[in-house]
């Protein structure tokens, strides 16, 4: 479930800025998109005492719950936001660009109460995942610009019928 939530945070933010919050590529796997180095990151965090992985059974399914052992350091989110407020070649920031923390809260509000199967199904229907050719392929974040309207995070990317004329 963590992988799917990260996916929506990253790809929603990409839709606004052209950058991923995690700055990590995603791969297409049978249960949905996953950051390419997720296993290594979690192993390193566990080794460093930042998280614990606690197995549990939930509705007959084995899960690995990740428990934070230290407070999260989210200082990098402010730096990321500040960097994305600056105009660059081929990038004009939206005046209503949300802070990454607000996007995280939005994704949690939207998906946090849903079960893993529902979120997995939702990620499987998102254009970037659908358009990745095979399992193991990189999920191209540029495909967020071809999302179905119900997946669009940046309202500036919605095409109205007046825009098409």
pLDDT in tens, 62-84: 888 899 999 988 899 999 999 99
Report, as an integer, the average pLDDT of 29-42: 94
Confidence bin at 116 (pLDDT 50/70/90): confident
Q: Which of 164, 147, 105, 123 is nearest to 35 (CA)?
A: 123
Q: Which of 139, 141, 147 is nearest to 33 (CA)?
A: 139
Confidence bin at 89 (pLDDT 50/70/90): confident
pLDDT higher than threshold 70 for residue 144: yes
User: 60: exposed, middle or buried (C-beta count within 10 Å: 0-12, 13-18, 19+)?
Assistant: exposed
pTM, rounded to two decimals: 0.88
User: pLDDT (tens digit, 9 = 90+) per residue, 97-107?
Assistant: 999 999 999 99
């Amino acid at each position: 479930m963590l992988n799917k939530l990260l996916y929506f945070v990253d790809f929603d933010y990409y839709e606004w800025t052209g950058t991923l919050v995690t700055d990590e590529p995603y791969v297409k796997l049978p249960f949905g998109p996953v950051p390419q180095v997720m296993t290594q990151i979690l192993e390193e965090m566990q080794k460093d005492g930042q998280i614990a992985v606690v197995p549990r059974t939930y509705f007959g399914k084995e899960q690995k719950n990740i428990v934070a052992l230290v407070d999260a350091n989210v200082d990098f989110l402010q730096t990321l936001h500040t960097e994305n407020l600056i105009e660059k070649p081929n990038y004009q920031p939206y005046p209503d660009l949300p802070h990454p923390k607000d996007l995280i809260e939005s994704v949690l509000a939207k998906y946090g109460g849903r079960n893993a199967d529902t979120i997995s199904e939702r990620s499987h229907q998102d254009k970037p995942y659908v358009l990745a050719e095979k399992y193991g392929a990189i999920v191209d974040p540029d495909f967020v610009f071809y999302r179905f309207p119900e997946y669009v995070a940046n309202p500036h990317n919605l095409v109205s019928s007046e825009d098409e004329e």
